[in-house]
């Protein structure tokens, strides 16, 4: 008994100690009293600051994620694991997740990509039409279904965060990101932005409203050295609130969007990344946004001063998560210095971390991961084909359309057999510098025309010497693929800066042809066609529509009626800045095709 009694006491003490330790280390899901606020309060400063950093996958290792308690990782444009397959992505994202779960904070990493028209970093993924083409469909249900399909593509690769939709209201089509906008009308942008967000988040993928604020309204003045991308917005606050703010209000109120990305651009020469007025006072205060605010790619480095000042200015303005693909360690160090110097208050840090954790909780990242779904390639192709058909805008038709299915057709122009030109920027690479080999499941226009001809005793040739033997000449003009910055152009002619160099020879064939001419334009925005239009019997705006060209032939051959309507005004001259005057007096003499125009036959 003398030996047994102390053993019982020791056992009780040990049991109580284990119970106490277990209670302290339980996750919020296991212990309802342990709230996210309490979890933030229990974290060390280093753990909190790590959550506020997002690094690029190529610049980090699992060990780095573990040591620094990194909160987020991204793939930049064209960044992907090897092999670039769903399983290859899952292996990578799972390794990062496991490393983060084994860190001192035990918090899972949040992985994000720019899947702006499909999972455009994934080899073989179906790519949908860019936003400007979806704006032409005026079909919110279609856009919501596309959002859901993109979400499945992402979840199949272990990616829960999409940096989309872009809800810029484009006011000058010389902007190189015009195709990322649903159009020039804030009501249209709001409706389709809400639909896309509902599709993404309905499937459990985090959507991002971007780029806050007024990125589609920056000044264009190359003479004074101000490019439109990342430039300055000089309109008054009333104009910003009437044109550029409504989509954010709609996405917050109607779609409960959980993340917002800040724009590189400025308002009244004040960089958005340092604007406490617009981020904290308006977005988080007035609009009641409760999600996380993320910076754009290394954008804080455009702010003046030292790195610590840049970090402090952005975080104090209301930025919660810093996208620092390569300089994450130095930014993390500067962030800690700012807190220790009391330049950033702990209340602001705790608020940022709490917002990040709430998003992770909403996504279910704090729970055991679900089994990744499989991508339904055939369903995605069918959906994209539907979207392509509905986005085609018929601008002229002198009785040549619909084409007879047994017609003999000559295809000419740079876009006839080039899926990269169909897809445009943000397609397997950032600027879209790809070849058709990068789209193994895609269908080119040549493929689509050939399929119809072979099934109906027609013929298709690309041999210009046979022009006298055909019934119709189809000319496919194109812009080069491009993305932000590179695509800014003061010259929107068919042979201008961003036009494909092979357009000129195709235009000459159209001019000299004695056969009926149908012209298609693969472009991210309207180009100036005033002089050439008289040489064409039919003209179709096909946009940069992605990987499914059969949607184009569906309308050209009459299987699907034309229904697309222009989401932006089409100018007659390259210098006309028409869309920015949408809500004021417009000079109709400068308009080739007005907003909302589109023939049905």
Local structure of 478: helix, strand or coil: strand
Q: Of these residues, 296, 380, 537, 554, which one is catalytic?
A: 296
- Other Cβ atoms less than 10 A from the Cβ of 18: the count is 10
DSSP per residue, 497-555: TTB-TTHHHHHHHHHH-SS-EEEEEE-SS--B-TTTGGG-SEEEE--S--SBTHHHHHH
From first CA to last CA, the distance across the chain in angstroms is: 101
* Pairing outcome for strands 570-571 and 591-593: antiparallel
Task: Determine the Cα angle at 174 with ends 173 and 176, to 5°.
Answer: 95
Cβ neighbours of residue 526 closer than 8 Å, sequence gap 6 or more: 173, 492, 541, 566, 568, 569, 570, 571, 592, 593
Local structure of 157: helix, strand or coil: coil
Distance from C-alpha of 136 to C-alpha of 111, rounded to nearest angstrom = 31
For 24, how many CA atoms within 13 A lie in the half-sphere containing its CB?
8
Q: Tabulate helix, strand, coil % of the chain (nearest 5).
A: 40, 15, 45
Please, are residues 488 and 424 in contact by the beta-carbon 8 Å criterion? Answer: no
Tokens 């119970």, residue located = 19
- Other Cβ atoms less than 10 A from the Cβ of 20: the count is 10
Cis before residue 211, ω within 30 degrees of 0? yes
Please, are residues 88 and 124 in contact by the beta-carbon 8 Å criterion? Answer: no
Identify the CA nearest to 300 among candidates 310, 315, 288, 291.
310
- Other Cβ atoms less than 10 A from the Cβ of 514: the count is 8
Please, are residues 407 and 454 in contact by the beta-carbon 8 Å criterion? Answer: no
Local structure of 204: helix, strand or coil: coil
Distance from C-alpha of 350 to C-alpha of 539, rounded to nearest angstrom = 57
Identify the CA nearest to 175 among candidates 462, 577, 599.
577
- The tokens for 151 are 């979400």
Helices 307-317 and 346-363, packing angle to 10 deg: 60
Instruction: Note if 296 is an active site residue.
Output: yes
Distance from C-alpha of 421 to C-alpha of 1, rounded to nearest angstrom = 88
Distance from C-alpha of 541 to C-alpha of 391, rounded to nearest angstrom = 9
Please, are residues 419 and 444 in contact by the beta-carbon 8 Å criterion? Answer: yes
* Pairing outcome for strands 259-262 and 266-267: unpaired
Distance from C-alpha of 495 to C-alpha of 500, rounded to nearest angstrom = 7
* Catalytic residue set: 296
């Amino acid at each position: 008994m003398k030996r047994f009694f102390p053993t019982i006491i020791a056992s009780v003490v040990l049991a109580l100690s284990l119970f106490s330790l277990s209670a302290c280390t339980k996750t919020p899901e296991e212990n309802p009293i342990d709230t996210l606020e309490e979890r933030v309060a229990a974290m060390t400063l280093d753990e909190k600051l790590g959550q506020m950093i997002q690094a690029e996958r190529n610049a980090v290792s699992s060990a780095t994620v573990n040591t620094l308690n990194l909160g987020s990782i991204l793939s930049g444009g064209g960044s992907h694991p090897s092999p670039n397959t769903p399983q290859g992505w899952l292996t990578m994202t799972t390794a990062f997740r496991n490393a983060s779960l084994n860190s001192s904070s035990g918090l899972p990493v949040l992985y994000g990509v720019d899947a702006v028209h499909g999972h455009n970093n994934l080899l073989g993924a179906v790519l949908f039409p860019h936003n400007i083409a979806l704006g032409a469909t005026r079909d919110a249900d279609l856009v919501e279904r596309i959002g859901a399909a993109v979400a499945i593509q992402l979840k199949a690769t272990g990616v829960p965060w999409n940096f989309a939709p872009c809800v810029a209201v484009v006011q000058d089509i010389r902007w190189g990101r015009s195709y990322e906008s649903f159009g020039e009308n804030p009501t249209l942008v709001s409706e389709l932005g809400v639909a896309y967000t509902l599709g993404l988040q309905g499937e459990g993928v985090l959507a991002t409203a971007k780029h806050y604020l007024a990125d589609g309204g920056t000044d264009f003045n190359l003479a004074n050295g101000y490019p439109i991308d990342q430039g300055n917005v000089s309109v008054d606050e009333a104009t910003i609130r009437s044109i550029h703010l409504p989509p954010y209000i709609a996405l917050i109120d109607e779609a409960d969007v959980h993340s917002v990305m800040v724009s590189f651009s400025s308002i009244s020469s004040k960089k958005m990344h340092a604007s406490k007025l617009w981020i904290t006072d308006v977005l988080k205060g007035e609009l009641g946004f409760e999600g996380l605010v993320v910076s754009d790619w290394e954008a804080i480095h455009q702010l003046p001063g030292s790195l610590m000042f840049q970090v402090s200015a952005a975080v104090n303005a209301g930025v919660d998560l810093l996208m620092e693909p390569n300089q994450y360690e130095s930014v993390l160090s500067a962030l800690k210095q700012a807190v220790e110097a009391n330049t950033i208050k702990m209340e602001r840090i705790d608020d940022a971390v709490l917002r990040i954790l709430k998003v992770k909780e909403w996504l279910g990242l704090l729970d055991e991961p679900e089994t990744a779904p499989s991508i339904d390639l055939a369903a995605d192709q069918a959906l994209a084909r539907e979207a392509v058909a509905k986005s085609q805008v018929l601008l002229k038709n002198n009785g040549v359309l619909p084409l007879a299915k047994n017609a003999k057709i000559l295809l000419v122009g740079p876009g006839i057999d080039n899926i990269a030109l169909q897809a445009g920027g943000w397609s397997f690479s950032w600027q879209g510098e790809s070849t058709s080999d990068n789209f193994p499941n895609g269908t080119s226009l040549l493929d689509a025309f050939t399929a119809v001809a072979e099934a109906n005793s027609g013929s298709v040739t690309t041999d210009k010497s046979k022009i006298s033997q055909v019934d119709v000449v189809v000319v496919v003009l194109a812009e080069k693929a491009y993305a932000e910055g590179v695509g800014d152009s003061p010259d929107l002619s068919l042979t201008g800066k961003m036009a494909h160099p092979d357009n000129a020879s195709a235009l000459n064939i159209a001019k000299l042809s004695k056969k009926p001419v149908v012209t298609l334009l693969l472009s991210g925005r309207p180009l100036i066609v005033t002089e050439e239009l008289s040489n064409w019997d039919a003209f179709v705006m096909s946009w940069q529509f992605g990987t499914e060209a059969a949607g184009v032939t569906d309308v050209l051959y009459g299987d699907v009626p034309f229904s697309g309507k222009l989401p932006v005004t089409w100018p007659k001259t390259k210098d006309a800045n028409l869309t920015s005057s949408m809500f004021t007096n417009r000079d109709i003499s400068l308009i080739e095709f007005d907003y909302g125009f589109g023939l049905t036959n």
